[in-house]
Amino acid sequence: MSAAVKTAGGGGPRHFLELMDLDSASLRHMLELGKKAKRGEISGKPLEGKTIAMIFELPSTRTRVSFQVGIRQMGGESLVLTAKEIQLNRGESVKDTARVLSRYVDAIMLRTADVSNIREMAAYATVPVINGLTNISHPCQLMADVMTFEEHRGPIAGQVVAWTGDGNNVAQSFIQAAARFGFTLRMATPELLRPPAELVAWARREGARIELTDDPVAAVSGARAVVTDCWISMSDEKTAATQNRHNLLLPYQVNAALMRHAAPDAIVMHCLPAHRGEEITDEVMDGPQSVVFDEAENRLHAQKGVLLWALGLA
């Protein structure tokens, strides 16, 4: 569960850490800004004179490129730092790093395996901190996913989205998104790989309709969107062999047979990178229902909305 640190409502920096930390109106505002950016309706260079530090403790393709290009397109500068390049790798505390970087830059984006790092960064930074991925969430991805659904199928509120596979960090952000954007989420996972019960309970208290099952057919039945992710996340790579994940998750593969149970106009999403032939087949990923590459593109646009909101520029 997220520890509520300084956010827009608390008078401090506008952090973007977890969807659950923010209200629906703020998230919808960011999403609409992202849509405007994609349509070319954001005038001028709103990030001119702004520098955003991007810290990558984990490898990245989409997060790094989409943020860097988005910042440049809006007139800002990005400073890309890997764990090996800064003193965090040699024992400097996160809080000291946050204090120092806040003197140099206008915002910090952090991609880390340990959620406690981003919480500590936000607690001590005096500039906005943006979650570029942790072991328990990926909120920027969900902003792009909601944007993608709405581009293809209209408002997501009231729709049914099915998740099949591991209850990983992206799945946990989908739970938060269901509460904030008002869609039904059906999650098919093995019992051993279900998302945290306390997160599901939080979402239900917030009014979300979350349905848990171990049957992917039941989850997908009639759904307007089917979503999956790789079976072994970066934070799980060292322990995956002992958990025998591939055998456990094979029944949850998104393939043509499973998609026949979804709504006829269902779309398929995957945050990438995909392990083709494991969690999703080539036939589906390259097929007419796939919006995977639109989804990847929308990381660029959705994150522009996040940046504009976090920096108080729109």
In this structure, the number of other CB atoms found within 10 A of the CB of residue 7 comes to 20
According to DSSP, the β-strands at 129-133 and 225-228 are: unpaired
Catalytic residue flag (residue 229):
yes
The strand ranges marked E within the chain are 51-56, 77-82, 107-111, 129-133, 160-164, 184-188, 210-213, 225-228, 267-270
Nearest residue to 312 via CA among 54, 30, 5: 30
Choice among 15, 62, 138, 180 that is catalytic: 138
Length of the chain, please?
Answer: 314
CA Rg, the chain, in Å? 19
Choice among 176, 180, 229, 230 that is catalytic: 229
Catalytic residue flag (residue 140):
no
Choice among 111, 180, 186, 270 that is catalytic: 111
Catalytic residue flag (residue 299):
yes
Choice among 68, 141, 289, 303 that is catalytic: 141
Cα separation, 199 vs 20, in Å, equals: 10
Choice among 271, 289, 301, 303 that is catalytic: 271
Tokens matching residue 141: 């991805």
Give every CB contact of residue 177 below 8 A, 6+ residues apart in sequence.
19, 142, 145, 146, 183, 185
Choice among 14, 299, 301, 303 that is catalytic: 299
Nearest residue to 154 via CA among 87, 225, 80, 237: 225
Active site residues: 111, 138, 141, 229, 271, 299
